[in-house]
Amino acid sequence: MNRILMTVALAGLLGACSGGVKEDGAPVEDRKPDAVQQAPMRSTPPRAVPSAPTVRSIESSVSTRNPLKDPGNILSKRSVYFDYDSMTVKDEFKPLVSAHAKYLTTNRGHKIVIQGNADERGSREYNLALGQRRADSVKKMLLLLGVGDSQIETISFGEEKPRAKGADEGSYAENRRSDIVYDSE
Amino acid sequence: MLALLLGVRPVLAALTIEIIGGGEKQIPVAIAPLSGEVRLPHRISEIVAADLTRSGLFRMIDPGGIAPPLDPSAIRYGDWTSRGAEALVIGAVQLRSDGRFDVRFRLMDTLKRQQLAGFSYTITAVQTRHTAHRIADVVHEKLLGIEGAFATRITYVVKRGSRFELQIADADGFGPQTVLASNEPIISPAWSPEGDRLAYVSFEQRKPVIYVQSLATGKRRVLANFRGSNSSPAWSPDGRRLAVVLTLDGSSQIYLINADGSGVARLTDSANIDTEPNFSPDGQSMIFTSDRGGSPQVYRVPVAGGAVERLTFEGNYNVSPRYSPDGKSFVFVQRSGGRFNLMLHEIATRQVIPLTDGAVDESPSFAPNGRMILYASKMGGHGILAAVSNDGHIKQRLTVEAGDVREPAWGPMQKGL
């Protein structure tokens, strides 16, 4: 009994700590353990009850993994990165954008917000506009691929919510990006 | 989760202001203790002396225990000139029968042996600091010929960890109050011309939204939450409209909107970025940042609409323009050699003079007398505020403990008590 209580308390403590860290910078990529994710149910061997009929749970035969959250699926990748002073979507990100376009044209009820970001150098308001432009670049490509305008909102965080907090080129590069966020998230 | 805090005095440390560069010629002035000033919660003479010292334009002469007479005809000017004082402030505080206080002061020219100014105020104790600042303003004006800006307030954003607070404080850093506390960023605060409201951009709705908040009541309304991003609010001089940057029609463009959120009208019309609008003091012109020419530069357009004119031509990054209160110049930020510095552009002569030499100076804001410019900078990796005189000679640094300060804006003159 005591051991269970301690475990619970420790989990509570960890939860509290990680809660604070999660709020900082509020990264878009959902790195938290996903409560929504539908993991396939594992069948558990029933306890042997003598002289009682054996009962087994029946697992759904079709995997119901959400492709948007499946790490094996390109749709779980949401970030498009940009070069300094650039708003062009580089070739290496076109498969990602195409995949999301395909998903959105197949699932017309879904909407996304594209969040644009900028590195911290320079005016905050101009960086807000640069982030917006990066979000719009991704949107333009999605529109060309058939996604509806009403399915997409573009907004900017400018330099205000950096994923990488350093003042070096690596951090700057990490922050020059657009993130695709689905309405269900 | 958000909290709106009204008039709260937090336990957080006040803003600390230090002078790190003074003017060449400083006027020596003695601020004698006002008789009876201990009756008030703060010593007026000390606040006046601190204000004048902080301006970098005055040198305090120690009054050295001389109790000056209240009757100016009894002043022994020799006592003061022998100490090097060219001007002297004397005064008195008296408790009235109605519980308020009468504060009287005189500013004397010790060389010419005549009075330069004399005022009296009837105040409550809570108005002590403001009264002292107004006295300092009078001294500044009479001795320098330039209105003082000591009786003003500033606003800025403090970031501590993942917590953001929009605060206002007296221009000397005293008495910070939290206007908005949030777990999401707050940027671009802007004072209404009367100093009664703040417009700002908050990310609490997971996108940039412009709010206008009353400082007296703490009540606020959404000014602009259109599709996309809403940012960069700038008040018209009559306080009835704001210029804002919206993205509802595509790229970041400048719009005009009534202070109640009605009547959105597009002002700029480019397919590029137009942002950071700023009204001229006469309300006729708007300067702004645009990259329509391929790189961000400062442009001007008539508020009523018309031809857009480019104003900056040096280098490939000129942003954040702000008119001086007399409309004759504007401060802006220039990137050069990877460093971001404040520059002053004189409109008539097109002369540009550098004001600062930090590495990442940004967000300039003029004091309402046009003399000092408040801005954001970095020191030791922390965000600090700094101020520089419009000739670049006098420098101040403003810091908070254990936090980053950014996004300053200097409030208007506070005339009435």
User: Is residue B92 situated within a structural domain?
Assistant: yes
Domain boundary among B144, B174, B206: B144
Mean pLDDT of B120-143: 97
Q: What is the CATH number of the domain that holds B252?
A: 2.120.10.30
Instruction: Supply A130's token pair.
Output: 């640069």
Per the CB < 8 Å rule, is B275 touching A126? Answer: yes
At residue B400 the predicted structure's pLDDT band, cuts being 50, 70 and 90, is confident
Average pLDDT of chain A, as a whole number: 77
User: Is residue B4 situated within a structural domain?
Assistant: no
pLDDT at B14: 57
Q: Residues B108, B210: one domain?
A: no
Q: Residues B63, B196: one domain?
A: no
pLDDT at B23: 66
What total of structural domains would you count in chain B?
Answer: 2
Q: Residues B94, B162: one domain?
A: no
User: Is residue B209 situated within a structural domain?
Assistant: yes
| Model confidence pLDDT, tens digit, residues A141-168 | 999 999 999 999 999 999 999 999 888 9
User: Is residue B128 situated within a structural domain?
Assistant: yes
Domain enclosing residue B227, as ranges: 156-410
**Bridge partners of residue B376, in order along the sequence:** B362, B385
User: Is residue B263 situated within a structural domain?
Assistant: yes
Cα(B356)–Cα(B161) distance, rounded to whole angstroms?
28
Picking from B66-75, B208-217, B250-259, which range would have the lowest pLDDT averaged per residue? B66-75
Give the other-Cβ count within 10 Å of A146's Cβ. 10
User: Is residue B7 situated within a structural domain?
Assistant: no
Q: Residues B297, B322: one domain?
A: yes
Answer yes or no: is pLDDT of B66 > 70. no
- CB of B59 within 8 Å of a chain A CB? The answer is no
Answer yes or no: is pLDDT of B294 > 80. yes
Q: Which domains does chain A have, with CATH numbers?
A: 69-185 (3.30.1330.60)
Average pLDDT of chain B, as a whole number: 93
pLDDT at A58: 56
Q: Which of B120, B150, B152 is nearest to B34 (CA)?
A: B120
For residue A145, give the H/E element and its range. none
> Residue B233 half-sphere exposure, CB side, CA atoms within 13 Å?
35
At residue B398 the predicted structure's pLDDT band, cuts being 50, 70 and 90, is confident
Per the CB < 8 Å rule, is B228 touching A132? Answer: yes
| Model confidence pLDDT, tens digit, residues B212-239 | 999 999 999 999 999 999 999 999 999 9
Q: Which of B207, B229, B365 to mutate to test the interface with A (most CBs of A within 10 A)?
A: B229
Domain boundary among B88, B110, B144: B144
Task: Show Cβ contacts of residue B4 under 8 Å, excluding neighbours closer than 6 positions.
Answer: B180, B181, B218, B220
User: Considering CB atoms only, which of A155, A157, A167 is closest to B228?
Assistant: A155
Per the CB < 8 Å rule, is A125 touching B231? Answer: yes
Which residues in chain B touch residue A126, judged by CB atoms under 8 angstroms apart? 273, 275-276, 289, 296, 319-320
pLDDT at A85: 76
Mean pLDDT in order along chain A per 10 residues (185 residues): 40 39 38 39 47 57 75 94 88 97 96 96 96 97 97 97 92 96 88
| Model confidence pLDDT, tens digit, residues B75-130 | 999 999 999 999 999 999 999 999 999 999 999 999 999 999 999 999 999 999 99
pLDDT at A49: 46
User: Is residue B38 situated within a structural domain?
Assistant: yes
Instruction: Supply B67's token pair.
Output: 């109790």
What's this model's pTM, rounded to 2 decimal places?
Answer: 0.86
Q: Residues B192, B114: one domain?
A: no
- CB of B398 within 8 Å of a chain A CB? The answer is no
Q: Residues B75, B206: one domain?
A: no
At residue B399 the predicted structure's pLDDT band, cuts being 50, 70 and 90, is confident
Amino acid residing at B221: R
Amino acid residing at B4: L
Q: What is the CATH number of the domain that holds B117?
A: 3.40.50.10070
**Bridge partners of residue B101, in order along the sequence:** B95, B123
Determine the distance in angstroms separating the CA of A172 from the nearest CA of chain B, rounded to an integer.
14
Nearest CA in chain A to B252: A129
User: Is residue B165 situated within a structural domain?
Assistant: yes
Q: Residues B261, B378: one domain?
A: yes
Q: Residues B209, B340: one domain?
A: yes
What stretches of B236-371 adopt beta strand conformation (E)? 241-246, 253-258, 265-266, 274-279, 285-290, 297-302, 309-310, 318-323, 329-336, 339-346, 352-354, 362-366
Domain boundary among B91, B117, B144: B144
pLDDT at B69: 73
Task: Show Cβ contacts of residue B268 under 8 Å, excluding neighbours closer than 6 positions.
Answer: B253, B254, B274, B288, B290, B301, B308
Picking from A110-114, B233-237, B340-344, B395-399, which range would have the lowest pLDDT averaged per residue? B395-399
Q: Residues B60, B202: one domain?
A: no
Q: Residues B369, B286: one domain?
A: yes
Q: Residues B136, B169: one domain?
A: no
Instruction: Supply A171's token pair.
Output: 């951090």
Q: Residues B58, B130: one domain?
A: yes
